[in-house]
Structures are given as structure tokens and as C-alpha cells.
Amino acid sequence: MTNTHVDYQLSQLDQLEAESIHIFREVAAEFEKPVLMFSGGKDSIVMLRLAEKAFYPAKIPFQLLQIDTGLDFPEVLETRDNWVNRLGVRIVVASIDDAIANGVVIDDGKTSRNRMQTATLLDAIEENGFTALFGGGRRDEEKARAKERVYSHRDEFGQWDPKMQRPELWSLYNGRIHAGEHMRIFPISNWTELDVWDYIGREQIEIPNIYFSHQRRVFVRDGMLMSETPLNPTREGETVEERTVRFRTCGDITLTGCVESTASTIPEIIDEVSIAKLTERGATRGDDRFSEAAMEDRKKEGYF
């Protein structure tokens, strides 16, 4: 047996973990069909770890859902498969290309992949009858998220109404929904980017290796370093060169930039994050840079 804490004090990381486990169990107990939104990024991996702990030694009592944009980093998909195999969970993959082929989503050449992702997600929710979706959103990421509840209600159209949010008190979560509605659940709402890294370090869990420093052929676009890939052809005037980089988030390969970095271990990443000058979104997410209210707009439409 391990001896716990003689002074009955829990470290902040242990408190965050306990709160997240509590949320996972609460949802599993009260919702008919929860599902965990798995992007393969570090936040969703931390969620998966917490879910593993919440139900151990039983298996995680719900499936994973991934939206396949067709633009994912291969390294991310590899890590995803390792996790899924180790935990023995089922994963539902909803692909944007299938949704386009089936006419669920219209690709008019003007709509961004991001918008189509939302439509594909909402369709997958409807088709599978999911009633609760775990997401890896954190309140420190962005101003609009700072006011979002742990249980965030979505109407039949998947929309979020920031003015109609339910009060959320103590650790008493209200999971009531009507038919056709669903709840987005954010079990790591109170974690910061540093907490996530501390936890990955402490738990020694596998994350995609693109988070660590490596050599990559990149080019500069809109002030960001983008990966060379056939999915994202270079435009006139853009030159590709090899640099030592790492990614701070794992999103759409055509929109997610990397940063020059030699951080190749978790302690080095933690050092780097502690003195970072830009938020992870501001630095490397093209999709969030369009306007200050960009995130809020996309959330209202049903994006995470």
C-alpha cells in the first residue's frame, strides 16, 4: 500500500485530478450515451487518462468519437491507435469527406474545413444519439471559454447560448436535457496549459511526438511556421526550409503552425511554456486569429 499524505493536504494537481474524475463518474452515471471527443491532442489524451483512472479496473464505459478532417498529422493518428488499443475502447470516426459524399455537408469551395467539421460533428451526434460529449476545452485558453460551464448545454441545433447558461454551484452538476439536445462536458475546465504538461510528465503518458522538438521542412505563412505537406501546397513566394521545431497544439495540418524549439523532453517543454510569450492559440492556430470574437462565434454554432 502507498502511504498518502500525513497532513491531509492534496496538491493542486491531485485536486484537479480528483475534480475531473468526479465529473467523469457523474456523467457516466447520469447520461444515457456519453462519448469522449478525441482529437489526439494532449488535452484529449489527458482526458482519456483521467477517464481510465475514473473507472479502473473496469474499462471506460463509453466510446470515443473522432472527426476525421482528412488533414490530421499522421503522428497523431498513430498515438490515437496506441491509446485505443491499450484501453480496449471503441472509437467512432466521423469523416468530413464521407459527410460530403453523403450530402450531409456541402463543400461549396468557400466554407472552411473548420465549419464543415462542425456540421460533421453535429451529424455524428444525431446519428449515434450521443447525449453527452466530453471535450478537452480549458477555461484558460480563451476569453469566451472563461465563462463556460463544466456542463454546457446545447440545443437541438447544437448551439450554445451564452446568455442562458445554467448556474453551476458546488460540485452539483445538472445534466437534464430534452430529447434531441445534448450536453458538452469539460472535465478539465480548471486546468491550465502548464497543469496539462505537469500531468503528462507526472503520469508519463504517451503523446504524439510532434509536441517534441524535431527537424521538419517548413515554410512561413501569415507569420506562422507551417509544415510542408501535399495537403497544403506552398504558394508563390513561400520557400521551404528545414528547421528545428515542435507543435504546441495538434489541429488541422493546414492551419496549425509550429514554433522553433529545442525542447525535447517534458521538463524542457514546461520550461518553455512557463516563459512563453504567446498563448498557444495565438501563436499557432490560424483558425482562431481571424477576429477577437472568432471563438465565440464558432462555439455558438456548435464547434467546441
Partner 1 sequence: MSDSTQSAEPRATNMDLLRFATAGSVDDGKSTLIGRLLLDSKSIFEDQLEAVEASSVSKGYDYTDLALLTDGLRSEREQGITIDVAYRYFATPNRKFIIADTPGHVQYTRNMVTGASTADLGLVLVDARQGLTEQSRRHAVILSLLRVPHLVLAVNKMDLVDWSQEVYDKIHREFTQFATKLNIPDLAVIPISALAGDNVVNRSENMSWYSGPTLMHHLEHVHVASDRDLVDVRFPVQFVVRPKSDEHHDYRGYGGMVAGGVLKPGDEVVVLPSGMTSKIAGIDLFDQEITEAFPPMSVTVRLEDDVDVSRGDMIARVKNAPAPSQDIDAMVCWMTNSPLKPRQKLAIKHTTRTARALVKDIQYRLDVNSLHRDQDTKELGLNEIGRVQLRTTVPLLCDPYSKNRTTGSFILIDEATGITVGAGMINSSS
CB-nearer residue toward partner 1: 16 or 99: 16
Of residues 75 through 94, those in contact with partner 1 by CB under 8 A are: 79
CB-nearer residue toward partner 1: 43 or 52: 52
Closest CA to 123 of 145, 140, 138, 101: 101
User: Please, what's the largest Cα pairwise distance for the chain?
Assistant: 64
Binds partner 1 (CB under 8 A): choice among 103, 109, 110, 204: 204
Of residues 214 through 233, those in contact with partner 1 by CB under 8 A are: 214
- Residue 102 within binding range of partner 1, rule CB under 8 A: no
- Residue 240 within binding range of partner 1, rule CB under 8 A: no
Of residues 269 through 298, those in contact with partner 1 by CB under 8 A are: 270, 276-279, 282-283, 292-293, 296
- Residue 57 within binding range of partner 1, rule CB under 8 A: yes
Contact pattern for partner 1 over residues 114 through 143, marking x by CB under 8 A: -------------------------xx--x
Closest CA to 218 of 229, 230, 205, 209: 229
Which cell numbers hold the place of 159? 448551439
Binds partner 1 (CB under 8 A): choice among 77, 91, 92, 194: 194
Instruction: For 90-121, give the secondary structure using H, E and C.
Output: CEEEEEHHHHHHCCCCCCCCCCCHHHHHHHHH
> Who's near 256: CB < 8 A, 6+ residues apart?
226, 227, 247, 249, 250, 284, 285, 286
Side chain identity, residue 43: D
